[in-house]
Amino acid sequence: MSQQSEVTDSLSGMTLFADLSAPQLEAVAHTFEEEFFDEGTRVLRKGFAGSGFYVIIEGEAAVQLDGKVIAQLSRGDFFGEISALLNALPTADVIATRPLRCVVLSGEAVEGFLLDHPQVALRMLKAQARTLRNNTKWLS
Amino acid sequence: MAELTDRPFPPGEYPVVVVGTGPGGLQTSYSLSQLGVTHALLSADEQPGGMFRRFPFFQRLITWSKPYAPVEKYERAHEWYDWNSLLSDDPACRASVIEFMDGTSYFPSRPEMEKGLVAFAERSGVIARYGCRWEGTARTDDGFVLSTSDGEYRCKTVVFAIGMTEAWKPEIDGIDLVPHYVDMKPPKEFAGKRIFIMGKRNSGFELADGLLPWAKQLILGSPRPAKLSIITHSTSGARARYMQPYEDNALGGGHFVIDAAIERVERTADGFRVHTEGTTRPGAMVFDVDEVIAGTGFATPLGDLPAMGVTTFYQNRLPAQTPFFQSATVPGVFFAGSVTQGSIGLKKYGIPSNSAAVHGFRYNARVLAQHIAETRHGVKIERPLIEPDQVVSYLLDEATFAPELWNQQSYLARVLHFDRARGITDEGILPLQHFVDAGGADGVAITVETDGTGDIHPALYIRKGGTAEEQLLPSNPLHSFTTSQHHAELTNALKSLID
């Protein structure tokens, strides 16, 4: 099996892309770029312009703020979408804590991609809602 | 050509072995020699040139060399206008491609490029063992053994400059029936035919553009819409000079550019049937054509390196690399040439480096040679001191004129270190990713960057206490970053380092 098919298969198993048809998944696999980051490599940099939207297809990463780990990320998780959507600088670093394979879309392309794939936008919104609920449980 | 046809570097032990005599291997070998690093240069070919001995198929490059540029031909700043010649400390060896260009285009022909590379090797004294094919690799306790058609080479450091010209095809039913770009027939054999080209990147568009005078109808198909260089502000997009088929599509001229996942290819009695499923416009489309060509891209001929532990990505087509072009997983294995696009860098705004082409990777090779010389061979490279009152002008001149910063935007940087005891030192051209992520002395790095809107401006990275912060300087309509406004903003930005 070719690696392109592996990327497509990998995306097809993710909640974020669960509503896409096979040709749409194929197009997504061609639209995003695959990147590899060795353990310890910084993927997203706090305060740096021009960052991208990342979806993890293999490996693990940590969200760090001033050296302190504030979240762990693994396969199927995504990051960088807030900077992309708000056209704002990232407020934390993301660092590979194990060899990390991601598919990446440039920040500028995210809004257009979500408008073209509203099912993905809805899945992303639900994921954000879950994160918000978990972070505000103390209120209830 | 006597020195090129002799057979130096017999099998044995060398501190460094460089494999490949395309532009990446030639530049690496030249730069290592200038630094006094003993090495063997091996090549499976019979003479210098690498992929340019055969490609591009339609015999014309997509990288410019401007015979008449705003600066003199042999000045350093001219390298921004000459994307194809290799770099030399000796002005007589510079701009070696331009002198062979016949004036019909500012894109050199393939033979002109090949002649320029041969001339560089001759004039700069780069010698290689030609006709020596790398066949296998093994790790030892302190290095590597390379098996070749001439025997074994032992070394502690190996640099693979092996190009990215191996045919690569995605997994599609029936694609084995289809020839790849590298197996193209002569264009006249496509006369009067209806042709489906898989792929809408540069190789797909090059084929389509070259076949326009011959084909009855062209259909270019791939799942995602074509990315065009003038839209993406990047040479990784399909280049403007191949856009005639796209314009034909836009004008309804009979050729088509479609967004579709290709499901399968079948043979028919008099050609092929291509089954596709539309992506941006859903629905099945079936094409009966005379010929199908896979313009689906290329892979690196990595041989047994993945089995030795070299991690790959991009559908196994590239080795993952550190900012200094070392395998991310096998120390001592380095890469040069177009393979260095596997060292991704910051890829700001989604724009990749120019490491896929000569004008980018020639600088990578020089950075690599210095890194190998310093970290693995104890060579001490002088760091000139810069007077504090010269820093601002120097950095702004670099942002305006330095070919390294323009050819490798947001990727290579001019770096200065600030040390109270030693003063301000020029650390040279270094990978930006290394400067911002590896920590180290207080200092500043300046780059040129193009943002998502196409705005070109200097970007500044100030590192204090091991942490780097970014500050963008203004653009200028004529790309001059030496204005009083730039002076004032940079002076202010550097205050924390100089005071």
According to the model, what pLDDT value does residue A8 have? 87
CB-CB neighbors (< 8 A) of A48 in chain B: 346, 348, 436, 470
Side-chain-facing half-sphere of B156: CA atoms under 13 Å: 9
Inform me whether the C-beta atom of residue B350 falls under 8 Å from chain A C-beta atoms.
Answer: yes
Using the predicted structure, report yes or no on whether residue A4 has a pLDDT greater than 60: no
Q: What is the mean pLDDT of chain B?
A: 96
Q: Tell me which residue in B170, B313, B320 faces A2 most closely, judged by beta carbons.
A: B170
**Angle at CA A32, nearest 5°, toward A26 and A37?**
125
Q: Tell me which residue in A22, A23, A52 faces B278 most closely, judged by beta carbons.
A: A23
Contact A30 B452 (CB under 8 A): no
Q: pLDDT above 70 covers what percent of chain B?
A: 99
Work out how many CB contacts closer than 8 A connect A with B: 104
Would the CA dihedral through B186, B189, B193, B195 be positive or negative?
negative
Inform me whether the C-beta atom of residue B436 falls under 8 Å from chain A C-beta atoms.
Answer: yes
Of the pLDDT bands very low, low, confident and very high (cuts 50, 70, 90), residue A67 is confident
Task: Work out the average pLDDT over B189-197.
Answer: 98
- What is the Cα–Cα distance from B10 to B461, expressed in whole angstroms? 46
Of the pLDDT bands very low, low, confident and very high (cuts 50, 70, 90), residue B4 is very low
Q: Which residue of A has its CA nearest to B329?
A: A38
Per-residue pLDDT tens over the stretch B346-385: 999 999 999 999 999 999 999 999 999 999 999 999 999 9
- What is the Cα–Cα distance from A22 to B489, expressed in whole angstroms? 51
Q: Which residue of B has its CA nearest to A5?
A: B171
CB-CB neighbors (< 8 A) of B328 in chain A: 36, 38
Tokens of B465: 């206490």
Contact B315 A2 (CB under 8 A): yes
Q: How many other β-carbons are positioned within 10 Å of the β-carbon of residue B109?
A: 18
Chain centre to alpha carbon of residue B171 = 26
Per-residue pLDDT tens over the stretch B305-336: 999 999 999 989 999 999 999 999 999 999 99
CB-CB neighbors (< 8 A) of B437 in chain A: 41-42, 45
Q: For residue B87, give how far its alpha carbon lies from the nearest alpha carbon of chain A (Å).
A: 30
Q: pLDDT above 90 covers what percent of chain B?
A: 97
Burial of residue B456 (CB within 10 Å: 0-12, 13-18, 19+) is: middle
Provide the b/e sequence for B376-404 (b: ≥16 CB within 10 Å). Answer: bbeeeeebeebeeeebbebbbebbbbbbb
- What is the Cα–Cα distance from B410 to B431, expressed in whole angstroms? 9
Q: For residue B452, give how far its alpha carbon lies from the nearest alpha carbon of chain A (Å).
A: 6
Using the predicted structure, report yes or no on whether residue A112 has a pLDDT greater than 60: yes
Angle between helices B358-377 and B23-34 (to 10 degrees): 40
Burial of residue A76 (CB within 10 Å: 0-12, 13-18, 19+) is: middle
- Cross-strand pairs, B259: B222
Q: Tell me which residue in B261, B282, B437 faces A42 most closely, judged by beta carbons.
A: B437
Contact B328 A31 (CB under 8 A): no
Query: Which residues numbered 244-273 in B keep a CB inside 8 Å of some CB on A?
Result: 259-261
Per-residue pLDDT tens over the stretch B44-74: 999 999 999 999 999 999 999 999 999 998 9
| Chosen from B175, B347, B435 to mutate, greatest number of chain A CBs within 10 A | B347
Contact A30 B223 (CB under 8 A): yes
CA-wise closest residue to B209 among B399, B56, B342? B56
Of the pLDDT bands very low, low, confident and very high (cuts 50, 70, 90), residue A7 is confident
Task: Work out the average pLDDT over B469-486.
Answer: 97
Contact B315 A7 (CB under 8 A): yes
- What is the Cα–Cα distance from B201 to B262, expressed in whole angstroms? 15
| Chosen from B173, B234, B315, B456 to mutate, greatest number of chain A CBs within 10 A | B315
Q: What is the DSSP letter of B164?
A: S
Inform me whether the C-beta atom of residue B347 falls under 8 Å from chain A C-beta atoms.
Answer: yes
Side-chain-facing half-sphere of B460: CA atoms under 13 Å: 23
Of the pLDDT bands very low, low, confident and very high (cuts 50, 70, 90), residue A139 is low
Q: For residue B346, give how far its alpha carbon lies from the nearest alpha carbon of chain A (Å).
A: 8
According to the model, what pLDDT value does residue A138 have? 67
Per-residue pLDDT tens over the stretch B230-258: 999 999 899 999 999 999 999 999 999 99
The interface predicted TM-score (ipTM) is 0.93
Tokens 């990463």 locate to A61
Q: For residue A1, give how far its alpha carbon lies from the nearest alpha carbon of chain B (Å).
A: 7
Q: Tell me which residue in A27, A45, A107 faces B223 most closely, judged by beta carbons.
A: A27
Q: For residue A71, give how far its alpha carbon lies from the nearest alpha carbon of chain B (Å).
A: 20
CB-CB neighbors (< 8 A) of A54 in chain B: none
Burial of residue B478 (CB within 10 Å: 0-12, 13-18, 19+) is: exposed
Contact A107 B350 (CB under 8 A): yes
What pairing do the DSSP bridges indicate for beta strands B16-19 and B157-160? parallel
- What is the Cα–Cα distance from A60 to A77, expressed in whole angstroms? 9
CB-CB neighbors (< 8 A) of B297 in chain A: none
Contact A35 B313 (CB under 8 A): yes
| Chosen from B173, B344, B456 to mutate, greatest number of chain A CBs within 10 A | B344
Q: For residue A136, give how far its alpha carbon lies from the nearest alpha carbon of chain B (Å).
A: 32
Inform me whether the C-beta atom of residue B315 falls under 8 Å from chain A C-beta atoms.
Answer: yes
Q: Which residue type, as a one-letter code, is found at position A68?
A: K
- What is the Cα–Cα distance from B398 to B413, expressed in whole angstroms? 9
Using the predicted structure, report yes or no on whether residue B6 has a pLDDT greater than 70: no
Q: How many other β-carbons are positioned within 10 Å of the β-carbon of residue B363?
A: 27
Q: For residue B123, give how far its alpha carbon lies from the nearest alpha carbon of chain A (Å).
A: 39
Task: Work out the average pLDDT over A121-139.
Answer: 87
- What is the Cα–Cα distance from B63 to B243, expressed in whole angstroms? 15
List, in order, residues 6 or more apart from A127 with CB less than 8 Å away: A15, A16, A78
- What is the Cα–Cα distance from A12 to A15, expressed in whole angstroms? 8
Contact B261 A26 (CB under 8 A): yes
Inform me whether the C-beta atom of residue B472 falls under 8 Å from chain A C-beta atoms.
Answer: yes
Q: Which residue of A has its CA nearest to B278?
A: A23
According to the model, what pLDDT value does residue A2 have? 42
Of the pLDDT bands very low, low, confident and very high (cuts 50, 70, 90), residue B2 is very low
Q: For residue B324, give how far its alpha carbon lies from the nearest alpha carbon of chain A (Å).
A: 13
Q: Which residues of A touch B (CB under 8 A)?
A: 1-7, 21-24, 26-27, 29-31, 33-36, 38, 41-42, 45, 47-52, 99, 101, 104-109, 116
> Distances from the Cα of B99 to the Cαs of B91, B96, B113, B358, B478, in angstroms?
13, 6, 10, 17, 28
CA-wise closest residue to A54 among A33, A72, A27? A33
List, in order, residues 6 or more apart from A109 with CB less than 8 Å away: A31, B350
